[in-house]
Structure 1
Amino acid sequence: MLPCRDDVLTITKRLVTIESIVNTKGEKIIANSLYQMISSLPYFQQNPNFLTLEQTLNDHQERYNVLAFVKGTKGKSNRTVLLMGHIDTVGIDDFNQLKDKACDPEQLMEALQTEQLPPSAKVQLESGDWLFGRGVLDMKSGVASHLYLLKYYSEHPEKLNGNIVLLAECDEEDSSHGILSALKTLNRWKKEHGFHYAAAINADFVSPRFDGDQNRYIYKGTVGKLLPSFFITGAETHVGSAFEGLDPNFIAAELTKQINYNPDLCNDAYGETTVPPVSLKQTDLKPTYTVQTALSAYVYYNFFIHSWSPKDVLDKLKEQAVIAFQNALTTFEDRYRRYSAMSGEPYVQHPWKPRVFTYEEMEQLLVQENGENYVNHMKNFKVRLLKDTELDTRMFAARVVEEAWKWMKDKNPAMILFYSSLYSPRIELTGKTEDELALIKALDESVEEIQPTYPYPIVTRNFFPYISDMSFVALSDDETGINAESSNNPGWGTKLFVDYQDIRDINVPVINIGPYGWDAHKKLERMEMTYSLEIVPNLTNLVIQKLL
Structure 2
Amino acid sequence: MTNDTAHAIATARARDLSLLMTRWPSVTGSPDEAHFSQQLRAHLAETPYFTRHPDQLFTVDSHGEPLTRSVAALVRGSGRRTVVLAGHFDTVSIANYGTLAPLACDPEPLTEALVKELRSRPLNAAEARALTDFESGDFIAGRGLLDMKSGLAAGIAALERFAGLEAREGNILFVATPDEENRSRGMRSLRNALPEIARRFDLDIVGGINLDASSCERDGAEGRAVYLGSIGKFAPFAFVIGRPTHAGYPFNGTSAHRISAEIVRAMDTVPELSDEAFGERSPPPVCLEARDIRDGYDVTTPDRVWLSFNWLTHRRSARDILGDFQAIVSDALETALRAQDDHATRYRGRDAGKTEGLVLDYAELLERVTARGGHAALARLKALDDSLAGSTDPLKVSREIVSAAATEAGIEGPAVIIGFGSLHYPLVHLDQSEAGRRMQARLQPVMEKAAARHGTSIKFKQIFAGISDMSFFGHRPEAGETGLLTANTPSAAFTDDAPDGLLSFPTVNIGPWGRDYHQKWERVHAPYTFGVLPDLVFASALACLGE
TM-score (norm 1): 0.92
Q: Distance in 2 between matches of 1:237 and 1:12?
A: 59
Q: 1:489 to 1:150 in 2, by over 3 A?
A: same
Q: Does 1:547 align with 2:544?
A: yes
Partner of 2:471: 471
Match of 2:69 in 1: 64
- Verify: 1:154 aligned to 2:163, yes or no: yes
Q: Which residue of 1 aligns with 2:453?
A: 453
- Relative distance call for 1:159 and 1:181 in structure 2 (3 A) is same
1:232-381 counterparts in 2 under 5 A?
232-341=240-349, 348-349=352-353, 351-367=354-370, 369-370=371-372, 373-381=373-381
Is 1:406 matched with 2:407?
Answer: yes
By how many angstroms is 1:384 displaced?
4.0
1:387-407, CA deviations, whole angstroms, 9 ceiling, x for partnerless residues? 245583322222222222224
What is the CA-CA distance between 1:543 and the residue it aligns to?
1.1
Q: Which amino acid aligns with 2:329?
A: A
Q: Is the 8 A contact 1:235 1:413 kept in 2?
A: yes
How far did residue 300 of structure 1 move?
A: 0.5
Deviations along 1:427-464, whole A, 9 cap, x unmatched? Answer: 1211623x323311222111111122345432212211
Taking only aligned residues, the RMSD between alpha carbons, in angstroms, comes to 2.0
Question: Is the 1:267–1:273 contact (alpha carbons within 8 Å) kept by the matching residues of 2?
Answer: yes
Moved more, 263-272 or 401-410: 401-410
- Tell me which residue corresponds to 2:499: 501
Q: Which residue number in structure 1 is paired with residue 133 of structure 2?
A: 124
Whole-angstrom CA distance in 2 between matches of 1:35 and 1:27 = 13
List runs of 5+ in structure 1 lacking aligned partners. none
Match of 2:201 in 1: 193
Q: For residue 115 of structure 1, what is the amino acid of its counterpart?
A: E
Q: Which amino acid aligns with 1:224?
A: G
1:387 aligns with 2:387: yes
How do 1:506-517 residues align onto structure 2 when only pairs under 5 Å count? 506-517=503-514
Taking the aligned partners of 1:128 and 1:78, their CA distance within structure 2 comes to 43
Question: What's the CA shift string for 1:111-159, capped at 9, x where partnerless?
Answer: 1222235332222211222111111110010000111122222333x44
For residue 91 of structure 2, the aligned residue among 79, 89, 92 is 89
SS at match of 2:50: helix
SS at match of 2:352: coil
User: Is 1:529 aligned to residue 526 of structure 2?
Assistant: yes
Question: 2:158–2:535: 8 Å Cα contact kept in structure 1?
Answer: no
**Structure 1 residues 330 and 212 mapped into 2: Cα distance closer, same or farther (>3 Å)?**
farther
Contact 2:145 2:523 in 1 (8 A): yes
- Aligned partner of 2:439 in structure 1 is 439
Instruction: Indicate the residue corresponding to 1:139 in structure 2.
Output: 148
Q: TM-score, normalised by structure 2?
A: 0.92
CA offsets 1:471-518 (integer angstroms, 9 cap, x no match): 1124476322222111111112xx34423236x612121100000100
Q: Which amino acid aligns with 2:29?
A: N
Which range moved further: 181-190 or 474-483?
Answer: 474-483
1:103 aligns with 2:105: yes
Identity of aligned residues (%): 28
Deviations 1:240-295 (A, max 9, x none): 11111112122111111110001121111111111011011101111222221111
Letter in 2 for 1:453: R
In the alignment, structure 1 residue 228 sits paired with structure 2 residue 232:
no
Cα 1:407–1:106 change in 2 (3 A) is closer
Give how far 1:337 is off: 2.9
The secondary structure found in structure 2 opposite 1:183 is helix
Q: Would you say the 8 A contact 1:160–1:545 is kept in 2?
A: no
Looking at structure 2, the residues matched to 410 and 14 of structure 1 have their Cα atoms a distance apart, in angstroms, of 56
CA distance, structure 2, for counterparts of residue 530 and residue 375 of structure 1:
61
The structural deviation recorded for 1:413 is: 0.9
Q: Secondary structure at the match of 1:501?
A: coil
Summarize the Cα distance change of 1:231–1:43 in structure 2 as closer, same or farther, 3 Å threshold: same
1:455 and 1:448 map into 2 onto residues whose CA distance is 10
* 1:353 Cα deviation after fit: 2.5
Residue 333 of structure 1: SS of its match in structure 2? helix
Task: For structure 2, list consecutive stretches of 5 or more residues without a partner in the other structure.
Answer: none
- Residue 26 to residue 291, structure 1, CA distance change in 2 (3 Å): same
DSSP 3-state at the match of 1:239: coil
Aligned CA distance change for structure 1 residues 71 and 25 (closer, same or farther; 3 Å)? same
Shift of 1:331: 2.1
TM-superposed CA distance for 1:340, in Å, is 2.7
Maintained 8 Å contact 2:394/2:494: yes
